[in-house]
Amino acid sequence: MSDNTPILELKNVDKSFGPIDVLHDISLKVRAGEVLCLLGDNGAGKSTLIKTLAGVHKPTRGTILMDGEPVEFSGPRDAQEKGISTVHQFGGTFPLMSIGRSFFVGVEPTRGWGPFKVYDRKTANEIAVKAVQDFGITRIDDGDRLVGGLSGGERQSLAIARAVHFGARVLILDEPTAALGVKQAAHVLRIVNEAKRRGLAVIFITHQVMHAMAVGDHFAVLIRGAIAADFRRGEKTREEITDLMAGGETMADLEAQIETYMQSHEGQPPPPAQ
C-alpha cells in the first residue's frame, strides 16, 4: 500500500498571523507521479500555503505529514533537505551568473585541497547542461552562458531541473507560467509532465485554468484561505472551475450584467464602483 501513501499531506492546517486568519482547515494530499493543481485568485492565500509547505511558515494548527509521518520543518532549508523544492515565478535564478554557477549555488563542486579548493567550472557546467537537456531543453548547451540570456521558459526549466537534480521529491511550482507567452508556457507544461513521469509529486500553483487542466490530476480551489472545491481530473469543466475561482459568482452572470447595462446606456460600460 506504500504506493498509495501520499508523499506530502496537510491535515486540517490553519495559519494565522496575529489576529488575521489566512488559512482555514486546509487538507490536501499529493502522491508520487501526481500533479496537484492549486487554483485561486490573487489574495486567496496561495502564497501563504506555499510558504507553509516549503517550511517558511509553521502552521498555527494542524499537521503536515510526509510519507504518512508527521513532520515539522525548522525552515526552508530543512524542508529542502527533506525533499520539498519550491520554484518561483521567475525561476529564483541569478540573471548575471552563468548557468553552471547558478545551478550549483550553495553546493559548488570543488577540486583541490585545503585552502586551495577551487570551484570546478568544467564539472559544474557539464552536469548543469546535461540535467537541463535531460528535460528536453536541448537549446541550452553552454554552461558559461548567463542565465539572464535565457528565455523565461528556459529559466523555469533550469530551475526545475536543478530541483530534481538535487533530489526533490515534491516540486512546488509557484505560478511558473504566469509571466510567459503561449509557447513558453507549453514548454514549462511539458517539463511538468516530465517531472511527473519521473515519479515526482508536483504541486502546481496557477490561476490559469487552461494550464492547470493540461497537466493536473487533482485540483483544489482556494478561496479566502479555505478549500472551496476538491476534485479529480475530468470531474468539472473549465467554465465551472473559472466560476469557482471567481468566488461562486458565475462569470456568465457577470458578463450578462455588463451586457444589459451597456444596452441600456448606449453602449457605455458601467462606471467603476465607488
Partner 1 sequence: MNGFSIGLFLRRPEFGAALSFVAVIAFYVVFGGVSLGALFGAASWINFAANLGIVALPVGLLMIAGELDISIGAMIPAGSMSIAILSGYYELPIAVGMLGALALGVLVGLVNGFLTVRTSVPSLIITLGTLVAVQGLVLAGSVILTGGASVPLEAPAWAKAIFGQLILGKFQVIILWWFALTVVFGFVLHATRYGNWIFAMGGDEVSARNAGIPTRRLKIALFVLSSTAASFVGMCGAILFNSAQVSGGMNYIFNTIVSIVVGGVLLTGGFGSIVGIFLGALTFAVVNQGIYFTDIDRNWSNLIIGVMLMSAVLMNNTFRQMALSFVPKRKR
Q: Which of these, 186, 218, 179, lies nearest to 30 by C-alpha position? A: 218
Q: Does 119 bind partner 1 (CB under 8 A)?
A: yes
In the complex, what is the shortest distance from the CB of residue 109 to partner 1, in angstroms, rounded to a whole number?
9
In the complex, what is the shortest distance from the CB of residue 40 to partner 1, in angstroms, rounded to a whole number?
23
Q: Applying CB under 8 A, which of residues 72, 142, 235, 255 lies at the interface with partner 1?
A: 142
Residue 267, all three cell numbers:
453602449
Give whichever of 27 and 74 is closer to partner 1, judged by the CB atom: 74
Q: Does 153 bind partner 1 (CB under 8 A)?
A: no
Q: Does 238 bind partner 1 (CB under 8 A)?
A: no
Q: Does 117 bind partner 1 (CB under 8 A)?
A: yes
The span from the CA of 73 to the CA of 51, in Å, is: 11
Give whichever of 94 and 261 is closer to partner 1, judged by the CB atom: 94
Please provide residue 243's backbone torsions phi and psi, each rounded to the nearest 5 degrees. -60, -40
| Binding footprint of partner 1, residue count (CB under 8 A) | 29
Q: Which of these, 264, 237, 267, lies nearest to 252 by C-alpha position? A: 237
Residue 19, all three cell numbers:
489576529
263-274 in b/e burial notation, b at 16+ Cβ within 10 A? Answer: eeeeeeeeeeee
Give whichever of 70 and 95 is closer to partner 1, judged by the CB atom: 95
Q: Does 96 bind partner 1 (CB under 8 A)?
A: yes
The span from the CA of 121 to the CA of 126, in Å, is: 9
Q: Does 138 bind partner 1 (CB under 8 A)?
A: no
DSSP letters spanning 217-270: SEEEEEETTEEEEEEETTSS-HHHHHHHHTTSS-HHHHHHHHHHHHHHTTTPPP
Q: Does 190 bind partner 1 (CB under 8 A)?
A: no
In the complex, what is the shortest distance from the CB of residue 117 to partner 1, in angstroms, rounded to a whole number?
6
In the complex, what is the shortest distance from the CB of residue 171 to partner 1, in angstroms, rounded to a whole number?
14
How far from the centroid of its chain's Cα atoms is residue 69's Cα?
23
In the complex, what is the shortest distance from the CB of residue 147 to partner 1, in angstroms, rounded to a whole number?
9
Q: Which residues bind partner 1 (CB under 8 A)?
A: 76-77, 80, 86, 88, 92-97, 101-102, 104-108, 110, 117-119, 141-142, 144-146, 148-149
